[in-house]
A = this chain, B = another copy of it.
Amino acid sequence: MTGLDAFIKEYGNQVTVFINNRINESKAPDIIKEACLYSINAGGKRIRPVLFLMTLNALNVEISKKHIAYASSIEMIHTYSLIHDDLPPMDDDDYRRGQPTSHIKYGQAYAILAGDALLNLSFETMLDYASTVKDIAAARDISKASGYEGMVGGQVLDMNKPECVKDILKMYSLKTGALIKTSVVSAAIMAGANKSILKRLNDYAENLGIAFQLRDDFLDKTDINEKTGKPKNSDKKNNKSTYISKRGNLSNEIKLHKHTKNALAAIQPFDGSYDKLRSLAEYLDNRMK
């Protein structure tokens, strides 16, 4: 197992345990706890929380429970967005990661409420652990990335079915990119990184987010129940234009590698502490699920 694999496994697991404990210990009605945990435990690579923790690690911050709490909060936001995106009035997906989506399992009302509960819980969790001005600033960056100028805004653009490549890329940068970017940037804010480091990490994460979505679009075109767990061509079902549907496989592949290269170039001046962030960019470029 490489250092990257070990890090992902170790901290992905810590995030999963943290969220499970937090929800299990709450006094919420059982059915909503169950619906939240169903989606949290439906798989998922924990890429965003791992990116958050990996950035702290690159900046030589010792990872504490507060950091696991923030990383977990980002994963809760990601999970809430998947639950709401899958709803019939939105993408209308019956399966995700090979399992029935929340509204198929629990009905639409509970799916809406489970999403709402996870979004609330994300902020509640950060506020439980925040104590410094830097902690507040990190939570603020996450909230902006999650909201209507970020991920929610991206979903709105997606509902408009963008047709031209420029609009498709804008949608990617908000719907997928914003939360990936804040996973890196909010960690750097929390660590008190200086402006020049922040700028480079911002560029790294911005490119990583676009590359991530381009790879997703490619994987979505292939036979997938073993891979992303989404039915083959689920994006096609909704008549969605993607970069790959507009420009073809080869252009998609070239663009993906270009963004990965840009991500690596952004952190090129930094020392070996950033090696895991480098490996992660390469891993995401090549991933098969």
| Residues of A in contact with B (beta carbons under 8 Å apart) | 26-29, 31-33, 36, 84, 87, 89-90, 107-110, 112-113, 115-117, 119-121, 123-124, 127-128, 130-131, 133, 136, 139-140, 143-144, 146-149, 152-153, 155-157, 159-160
Contacts and interface: CB of A to CB of B under 8 A. Distances in A.
Contacts of A112: 84, 87, 89-90, 112
Given A136-B130, A139-B127, A140-B127, A117 B147 contact: yes
A90 B111 CA distance: 11
Contacts of A133: 131
Nearest to A146: B120
A66 to B, nearest CB: 13
A29 B27 CA distance: 37
22 contacts: A28-B149, A28-B153, A28-B156, A29-B153, A29-B157, A29-B160, A31-B160, A32-B148, A89-B107, A89-B112, A90-B109, A117-B147, A117-B148, A117-B152, A119-B119, A120-B143, A120-B148, A120-B152, A124-B140, A127-B140, A127-B143, A131-B136
B26 A149 contact: yes
A4 B120 CA distance: 33
Contacts of A33: 148
Say what secondary structure dominates the interface of chain A: helix
A121 B144 CA distance: 8
Nearest to A124: B143
Contact of A152 (B84, B113, B156, B157): B113
Given A28-B149, A36-B148, A136-B130, A156 B113 contact: yes
B156 A31 contact: yes
Contacts of A136: 127, 130-131, 136
A149 B152 CA distance: 24
A163 B140 CA distance: 42
A140 B128 contact: yes
A32 B89 contact: no
Nearest to A31: B156
Nearest to A81: B116
B89 A152 contact: no
Contacts of A26: 148-149
A159 B35 CA distance: 14
Contacts of A32: 148, 152-153, 156
Contact of A143 (B89, B113, B123): B123
Given A28-B152, A119-B119, 13 more contacts: A28-B156, A29-B148, A113-B155, A116-B152, A117-B147, A117-B153, A120-B143, A120-B147, A120-B148, A123-B123, A123-B143, A124-B140, A127-B140
